[in-house]
Amino acid sequence: MRYIITSLFLLITLCCYSQSPIEKGLNVINRQDAETYISILASDSLEGRKGGQLGGIKAAEYLKNLLVEMGVKPWRGNYYQDFSPTNHQASDGSSLKLRNVLGYIPGKNSDEIVMIGAHFDHVGVGRKIAGDSIYNGADDNASGVAAVLQVAKAFIESGQKPERTVMFGLWDGEEMGLLGSFHFVEDHASYIPIPLVSSIPIKAYINCDMIGRDKNGDGSHVAAFISNSKPIFKEWIENDIATYNLTLSPEFPSLNSSPGGSDHMPFMQKGVPVIFYNTDVHPDYHKPSDEADKINYDKVVDITKLAFLNLWHMANAESF
């Protein structure tokens, strides 16, 4: 018996030690965490996470605490990037106060940055529909935020320092006109010593916005919008879906046809190559009925794994 237990222990140890860093990362991306993150962010207590309001501020605090817990570092010494969009006045005449949540994992080459992001704000409390006035935004966009959080966790748990610095951006004010991602991009550009540059030093950006629902009941459908300049992104996606047995049937529509616009747009305007994941608009879009129990969690998990693999290539490929 003792021999069996010892051998079993040895086998488990060998098995764990033989895992590659990528596998270690993939193995910590799970359904339970997706459910936790999405159900907390989309709970009525966060009141639809409207930018500048109490529910939005509480959501930012929750996200910051998760990054601290994981061991993700604060960007420029602060997880919060506070800003007031100059052209937005709140209803009482004061300026709107918004905050992005930003973290990073330093790479061996800190001059090069790759990034994944998702907006955490939603539209708050509004017109009552079927007795409900809280617009929970489970798909839009607690689903994308859950992906970014699990990708961060996976990079940490891989145990391998990335070649390039990896950044995580959780945007505020998307629903008011991509305010958080525009602010980040403009702020980032302002650190470049050369005036009037049209680009920013970010090598690639992945955006996740609404990745938890199905189109026509097709559980595996996902739209992957990718920059024309990087056909390799499509190769990575197709190869990794096959290699890691992900239940996803991606469609690759043109980026020009991306629905309604999302936080990849400010990056695109600065010439940053992007991948944007989205599982289409649905009847609960921007309604109080966009609730956590309608999410296809298995799909969220597989898109999260795919986004992790994309970011892994972006962070570690010699060139792309």
Q: Which is nearer to Zn ion, 240 or 280 (CB)?
A: 280
Q: CB of residue 2 vs Zn ion: minimum separation in angstroms?
A: 57
Exactly one of 140, 172, 240, 291 binds Zn ion (CB under 5 A); which one? 140
Q: CB of residue 140 vs Zn ion: minimum separation in angstroms?
A: 4
Q: CB of residue 122 vs Zn ion: minimum separation in angstroms?
A: 8
Q: How many residues make contact with Zn ion (CB under 5 A)?
A: 3
Name the one range near Zn ion by CB under 5 A: 48-56, 86-94, 206-214, 237-245. Answer: 206-214
Q: Which is nearer to Zn ion, 171 or 236 (CB)?
A: 171
Q: Which is nearer to Zn ion, 123 or 200 (CB)?
A: 123
Cα–Cα distances in angstroms (integers) from residue 232 to residues 148, 192, 197, 229, 237, in the given order: 22, 28, 26, 9, 9
Q: CB of residue 231 vs Zn ion: minimum separation in angstroms?
A: 27
Q: Which is nearer to Zn ion, 189 or 211 (CB)?
A: 211
3-state secondary structure of 119: strand
Dist. CA 62–CA 266, nearest whole Å: 26
Q: Which is nearer to Zn ion, 150 or 279 (CB)?
A: 279
Exactly one of 47, 121, 139, 209 binds Zn ion (CB under 5 A); which one? 209
Tokens of 79: 């997880």
Q: 221-226 and 249-251 as β-strands: parallel, antiparallel, unpaired?
A: parallel
Cβ atoms of 286 and 123 within 8 Å: the answer is yes
Cβ atoms of 184 and 191 within 8 Å: the answer is no
Tokens 């052209």, located at residue: 87
Verify binding: residue 240, Zn ion, rule CB under 5 A: no
The residues facing 218 across adjacent strands are 215
3-state secondary structure of 256: helix
DSSP state of 208: E
Q: Which is nearer to Zn ion, 22 or 170 (CB)?
A: 170
Q: Which is nearer to Zn ion, 74 or 259 (CB)?
A: 259
Name the one range near Zn ion by CB under 5 A: 133-141, 183-191, 264-272, 277-285. Answer: 133-141
Cβ atoms of 197 and 189 within 8 Å: the answer is yes
Verify binding: residue 141, Zn ion, rule CB under 5 A: yes
Q: CB of residue 119 vs Zn ion: minimum separation in angstroms?
A: 6
Name the one range near Zn ion by CB under 5 A: 81-89, 127-135, 207-215, 291-299. Answer: 207-215
Site residues for Zn ion, window 13-42 (CB under 5 A)? Answer: none
Verify binding: residue 280, Zn ion, rule CB under 5 A: no
Task: Find the helix packing angle between 297-316 and 31-41, rounded to 10°.
Answer: 100
Q: Would you list the DSSP string of 265-291?
A: HHHHHTT--EEEEE----TTTTSTT--
Cβ atoms of 282 and 230 within 8 Å: the answer is no
Name the one range near Zn ion by CB under 5 A: 59-67, 202-210, 223-231, 285-293. Answer: 202-210
Cβ atoms of 210 and 298 within 8 Å: the answer is no
**Where does this chain bind Zn ion (CB under 5 A)?**
140-141, 209
